[in-house]
Every structure is written in C-alpha cells, then in structure tokens.
Amino acid sequence: MFYHLNHHQFADFETAYEDARYVVFGVPYDSTVSFRPGTRFGPRSIREMSYNFESFEPHSGIDLAAVPCADIGDVEPELRPEAVVEQVLALASDILGDGKVPVMLGGEHTVTIGAVRALMPECFVVCDAHLDLRDELSGSPYSHGCVTRRLAETGIEDIFIIGARSGTREQFVRGQDLRLYTADDVRARGIVPILEEIREAIGTRSMYLSIDADVIDCCLTPGLGTPEPFGLNPLDVREVVRTLGPLASGFDYVEVCPVDAGQTAAVAAQMVREFIASHRAKSRLP
C-alpha cells in the first residue's frame, strides 16, 4: 500500500515501525482539485523542509531525535477519491491496531475521511478556511469540499471548526449545528479563550485533529490549492496544536501546494513536529 522512501524521509523519524510510537505516512493525492492542482506534492515538500530544523523542541523540552517516530512512506493512491479513502482507512486502522499514533501528510483534505473513520473518535477538530459541508462537488460526494459533511454523518458527537471564512449560505446554515469558530471569531476573541472552551467541551472524550493549510491567511503561506485571505496566522495554529494535540489520537496536516518559496511547507513541517512533541510531553495516552 505504501512505497519506501529514500532521502525524502521526515527528518529525525528513523525508528523502525515495530518500535515506533508515532507513524508518519503521506497521501500524495489531489484528483478532486477545484482550483489549483499540486497538493499531491505536499508530503514530499513537507519532508524536504523538515531538514531545516533542529531536533530539539524548546517549548515542550522534547528532543524529537529521541522520540520513537517512523516514516513509512506514501500511499500509492487510487484515482477515485472513495478508493483513496478506503486505502487510508485500511492503513490507519493497521497503525492504530498496532498501538501507534497515525500522523498523516496530505494531499487534499479528502484523505482525512479515511483516517477519521479508522479512529472513530467522539470529537473531530478541524482548522480550515472552508466549511467543507457540501453534499457533493463536481459530482463527487468525496470531494475535498465535502470532508466535514461526510464525517458529520459517521456519528461523531461533536465537530469543532476553527478559522472558516468560506462556504455557501447553505453551508453556513448547516454549520450552526456544529461548533463553528470563524476566522473573525478568532480575531475578535483570541485563539486562547476559544481553545480553552473547546478543551473543556471535549473533556476526556477521544478526538482527532486535522489542519488544512489554507486556514492560515494566504498572504502569509501562499502555497495552497484553494487560497483564502483574512485567515489565521501560524502562531494561532501552533497554539491549536500545542493545546489540543496532546488530546488527539490522530493528526494530519493537509492541502500544502508547494508553489511558493517553501514557507507553507515549512509551517507544515514544524506543526507536525509540534504535534509529536506536545503529544509526547503531555498526552493522556501511555
């Protein structure tokens, strides 16, 4: 299902799969693209940028070189999005079954559906410029614009959307049934009190955390498949990862389209590192 990497392995993630606590894999898929193609190159660009950073994370006090992390490579995706969802579901289920934490690099946001279905968490937290509550887009119910809609149908108890600022009128009406914090809400209230509210609402329930790169203002990280201005800044998203990452049983960073000078992939690589470091330092899991 995946091929082995050579020099494009994520930096410092050199533990054998059998001994790893965290397992990174990529899904280089963007077949339902609706604006700019290229997110299939996201996993590679994130891995390449990971070599820019020191292994030590000062905020958590964790040296990632000492954390048991494995990078098992990339799924070789099918063409149809529903088939890719099944591929991710199978792989993430295997990783979970082996007692490990899946960390997925996208690719378009559709891949998140498979990972979340594997975990079946009680809560889903997503940072995204778009509501992704369409029933279908361009004839497919598994388009990147339908992700949260599909997951809302799985029986997840609570869905939290952070940073949204784009969607149809119908989607915003539907979003009122979820826990929606728009980009304007974050600007008005600040990310810290919003995260405190979300953390209290989650409590001890299981949770999956998904970051769509376009939640960040495209003027700051322009390497995006569907760029939107007036979004969050990277520090906001880092606060999300540091605060909620330790509660998550799975994590992904998706929708990096490396058409810029590398800043979008750099942020993504650092967020993956922040997730693993904060999860390792504070996780409820053994």
User: Does the residue 13 lie in any domain?
Assistant: no
Q: Which domain holds residue 55?
A: 19-282
Would you state the structure tokens that stand for residue 149, as one six-digit string?
């809609």
166-202: b (≥16 Cβ within 10 Å) or e: bbeeebeebbeebbbbbbebbeeeebeebbeebeeeb
Confidence (pLDDT) at 256:
97
User: Does the residue 2 lie in any domain?
Assistant: no
User: Does the residue 44 lie in any domain?
Assistant: yes
Contact 222, 259 (CB under 8 A): yes
Confidence (pLDDT) at 137:
74
* Phi (first) and psi of residue 161, to 5 degrees: -110, 125
User: Does the residue 14 lie in any domain?
Assistant: no
User: Does the residue 248 lie in any domain?
Assistant: yes
Sign of CA dihedral 249, 255, 259, 264: negative
DSSP 18: G
Confidence (pLDDT) at 283:
60
pTM: 0.94
- From CA 73, how far away is CA 4, in angstroms rounded? 5
Residue with tokens 């979970």: 96
Does an H or E element contain 212, and which? strand 207-212
CA 96 to chain centre: 17
What CATH number does residue 68 fall under? 3.40.800.10
User: Does the residue 12 lie in any domain?
Assistant: no
Query: What tens-digit pLDDT sequence spans the chain (286 residues)?
Result: 444 444 479 999 999 999 999 999 999 999 888 788 999 999 999 999 999 999 999 999 999 999 999 999 999 999 899 999 999 999 999 999 999 999 999 999 999 999 999 999 999 999 999 998 887 677 778 788 788 999 999 989 999 999 999 999 998 998 888 999 999 999 999 999 999 999 999 999 999 999 999 999 999 999 999 999 999 999 999 999 999 999 999 999 999 999 999 999 999 999 999 999 999 998 644 4
Indicate left, alpha or beta for 231 from its phi (over 0: left) and psi (-120 to 50: alpha).
Answer: beta
Number of domains present in the structure of the chain: 1
User: Does the residue 3 lie in any domain?
Assistant: no
User: Does the residue 192 lie in any domain?
Assistant: yes
